[in-house]
Structure 1
Amino acid sequence: MSDPHDEFKGKNVLIERKKSKDPSEITSKYSMSIETYKDILGECRRKLFEVRSRRARPHLDDKVSPMSLKRSYASRLLYLGMDWLSHLFPGPTRFSWVKLRKSINELLPLELLQAILVRVPAKHLFPLRFVSKLWLSLISDPTFVEFHFHHTSEFTIPSYFFAHNDQLVGSVDLHALFHGGATLDTSIEKFSLPFPWKKNTRSNLLVLGSCRGFVLLRHYPYYIILWNPVTQSHKKISYYNAVKKNNIIHGIGYDASNDDYVIVIFSKENQPHCFSLRTNSWTKIDVAPPTPLITYEFIPWGLFFNGAIHWLSYRPSNRDILIFDVKKRRFSKIPLPEQKLTWWPSKLVILGGCLALNFFDYRDNNKRTQVWVLKKYKVPSSWILLYEIPHHCISLFLSNYSDVIVLDRVTMNFAKYKLEGERVQCFKYFNYSFCHVIAFEHISTVYTPSLATLPSCDKKKWKNEDIKFVKDDWNPT
């Protein structure tokens, strides 16, 4: 299995970061070769073994090459570094931890430590806060959290979150499944719900969307829950006073200008409302939608993209995508492709940084799926047919505009195709009940794991005595 970062070998990893108050516009420039990282870490390894020999630590064999371990590139490097340090300073005494902190500062420069940690998956990085106060301050720093999320979104495949009551809640690590040599069994991570749960047939969880590592869940009858499975940060919100009908449209978005998560709900009989986690309150949306709201014509879960929430209608008569801008608090619409009036649009997704749409032709015996991409946002003439797959599939991720990862709705398989339609890899589910659960869109979503916490949870300001960040000059190389 080739290393997922082989494509960067011998090249410079370039990320644009523009200095702006808007966290979503993180584009700071840094450039550093992967080979340079390996050279620096090799030097750190030699220094570590020199210190180890001075401390006379016997019976320590050389570790295996990081390239031979079945982990992501950053995880392998961090694994070796932590393993060496644990051998050097195994004692739990205060003296050993002081030495450990001193050695980290001396042997791993802060810039190098940041560059390594920003490449570690969130689920592995979050527990490392307890390594030391230095690491706690670094991993908890809002600038680092923001940069880590954008780096993860740019260079890794998102995960596939699913929920079915309190017995089966978890996610499939698609990056490990397709690029890390993992099996479906090892790529599944099960979660424990951090909030109280009543077991009855009417309280199944509905997955209403995701945003920046958070998933929006609905708990029957009048509760919605925003939850980050990695950090366990969550909030239970009642909307009984806002909307009192069952046919409700939901959506979750992020207002970068105010660092605020916004939840939108509306129904046919009720005026649209939005909930701000920053103010912890519901407000009415005074601006009316461009078309009358008939909730049973729209799929009740929205997709957050480009600062707005998008809802798709499942009626052929409705040829528009409904949009809500979370910053301006107003509605708009985007027409569907005119070429596919006879096909049935089924699901909105994000592919290659563009809004995309899956079309199914249920009258076709070949059971084909066409994926159309909106190359220029809000420009109807920019709809193009990206590819066609001879199965009923839901597109999940497009990598480098050459390979697409899909979920087959008929065979219940994760599969990977080239743009020409040739199947590259396919993974079958290990359990029929699991297949039956995960196949439905209303209990699953694509999400990117993150270290983010809710604004209401950030009551304490982290006081960092070991290191101070200057945001304008921070360069994670």
Structure 2
Amino acid sequence: MTTRKKRLEYEDSLPVDLISEILLRVPVRLLLQLRIICRSWNSLISSPEFAMLHLQRSTLTQLPPPLLCWKEWILTDDIMHCSSSQSLILYRRHQPTTFVSYPADGKFIRGSCNGLLCLTEGFFPFETLTLLNPITRSVSPSIPFECSEECGERVFCGFGYDTLHDQYKFVMGCCYSSLITDSQVRSGAIVFTFGANPCWKTVDHPVFPYGLVSSADGIFVSGTLNWIVYDPTITSAIDNDEFEWFVLTFDLETESFGRMCLPIIGRRSHCTQAPQLQVHNNCLSYCFHTPDTPIIYSVWIMKEYGAEESWTKLFAIPIPAFDVGIFPDVLIAPLYMYIPEDHNLLALNGSDGRLFVDNLRQNQLVYHVPDGYYWTSSFLCHESLVSPSHYCSLRTIDQSNIT
């Protein structure tokens, strides 16, 4: 019997629904190899419907753990990634070739969603937008960034998924300044929608005042983008550098801004002390240094997105400052926590952009990336089969909504 006949016989031996149910439990890396089994398997695995079902299952079970994707500078201009479930950065000393890289000269990661990275080329004003799936190594055509710049250095942007309309969107705005040269839209933010009918549009800015301490990338969770900002109308009577922080939100379905309070309303001694947003267990989380204490950072999660009463303290991070160079005026951003295996926390040191691993159970530093390795951006990215090209087209871009 020929190989082709054997494949056809094997292909017909199980019901299609059962085959699909089995393959939904298979990791992405193995699925990429299984596509060669037969045409029907390749068609199934390559379909957008299967890719989304597989992604939903893997994100709910948190298996496999997400990838850690980062962009280095000085040493390389590639985008690197590896599994966050290991003590990944420990391998750099012994196995420097274990990391997977993607050539990305001049490109920077601006967001992560459903296994896709959103890349911009150049600094603001950006030149292009590109989508990259680091696991499948598939990349979309580059979309020209059509909007002109009349803005200061305080720019915020983000990348996320609108479930209702099955669309990926890139959002950008800036404080107290315009984005578009036309005076009629000077108060607007811009939204780019990827897809079969790509378009730029202008949306209204928040009606409430807010400020950014620096340019920021949004955190995607529950169909929204989120940034830490401060209220510039509320300052300390003692020190004008003290602000109250809150979360600026953008609903990708309704394309509208909103705000949420943090569980502890406190005044920060320096504006560089902004809490750091991340996602833990599919929930929005933030980390900040507790005032008037030793160097202890508290991590809170919002168990039900949008319900401010659901903020819950997750854990505290005592940091040995003399080991990692972290002081009370330095930011840290927890990225991933390995529990229950070893209680190791992978975090970003905001003082120099380097990663470190801290053991919460033993309260000791496991590893800190040595001098010479610096990150310009770090994101967690779920392994997925989502195709960037399916959601990105070079058809004529509708700019009728930018007036």
Q: Same fold (TM over 0.5)?
A: yes
Please say if 1:227 is aligned against 2:132.
yes
Compared with structure 1, are the counterparts of its residues 359 and 425 closer, same or farther at alpha carbon in structure 2 (3 Å cutoff)? closer
Q: Secondary structure at the match of 1:422?
A: coil
Please say if 1:309 is aligned against 2:246.
no
Task: Select the residue among 380, 402, 407 that pairs with 2:347.
Answer: 407
- The 8 Å contact of residues 228 and 453 in structure 1, kept in 2 or not, is answered as yes
CA distance in 2, matches of 1:367, 1:299: 26
- The 8 Å contact of residues 396 and 404 in structure 1, kept in 2 or not, is answered as no
Q: How does 1:149-160 map to 2 (within 5 A)?
A: 149-155=55-61, 156=63, 157-160=65-68
Q: How does 1:21-40 map to 2 (within 5 A)?
A: none
CA positional deviation for 1:362: 8.4
Q: Which has the higher contact order (CA 8 A, sep 6+)?
A: 2
Task: Select the residue among 189, 196, 199 that pairs with 1:281.
Answer: 199
TM-score (norm 2): 0.73
CA positional deviation for 1:244: 4.2
Residue identity matched to 1:218: T
TM-score (norm 1): 0.63
Residue identity matched to 2:206: P
Residue identity matched to 1:122: V
CA positional deviation for 1:258: 1.4
Q: Which string of whole-angstrom CA distances, capped at 9 and with x for unpartnered residues, describes residues 297-327 of structure 1?
A: 3542001111111011278524211001111
Determine which structure has the larger helix proportion and give its number: 1
Q: Which string of whole-angstrom CA distances, capped at 9 and with x for unpartnered residues, describes residues 400-435 of structure 1?
A: 799563226288433453xxx435994565x643xx
- The 8 Å contact of residues 334 and 378 in structure 1, kept in 2 or not, is answered as yes
Identity of aligned residues (%): 20
Task: Select the residue among 315, 322, 327 that pairs with 2:253.
Answer: 327
Q: How does 1:343-422 map to 2 (within 5 A)?
A: 344-361=273-290, 366-391=294-319, 393-397=332-336, 403=343, 405-407=345-347, 409=349, 412-415=355-358, 417=360, 421-422=361-362
Select between 404-413 and 345-354 the one with higher mean Cα deviation.
404-413
Q: Which string of whole-angstrom CA distances, capped at 9 and with x for unpartnered residues, describes residues 115-138 of structure 1?
A: 443233323422432332122112
CA distance in 2, matches of 1:97, 1:458: 35
Match of 2:36 in 1: 130
Determine which structure has the larger strand proportion and give its number: 2
Aligned length: 342
- The 8 Å contact of residues 101 and 132 in structure 1, kept in 2 or not, is answered as yes
Q: How does 1:425-436 map to 2 (within 5 A)?
A: 426=366, 429=369, 432-433=371-372, 436=373
Residue identity matched to 2:357: F
CA distance in 2, matches of 1:448, 1:427: 24
Please say if 1:437 is aligned against 2:374.
yes
**What do you get for the CA RMSD once the two structures are aligned?**
3.4
Residue identity matched to 2:374: V
Residue identity matched to 2:111: G
Compared with structure 1, are the counterparts of its residues 246 and 455 closer, same or farther at alpha carbon in structure 2 (3 Å cutoff)? farther
Compared with structure 1, are the counterparts of its residues 111 and 432 closer, same or farther at alpha carbon in structure 2 (3 Å cutoff)? farther
Q: Which string of whole-angstrom CA distances, capped at 9 and with x for unpartnered residues, describes residues 254-298 of structure 1?
A: 11111111111112222201001122121111x33132464x435
Structure whose CA Rg is larger: 1
Q: Secondary structure at the match of 1:272?
A: strand
Structure 2 residue runs of 5 or longer lacking an equivalent are 180-187, 231-240, 320-325, 327-331, 394-403
Compared with structure 1, are the counterparts of its residues 207 and 456 closer, same or farther at alpha carbon in structure 2 (3 Å cutoff)? same
CA positional deviation for 1:183: 5.4
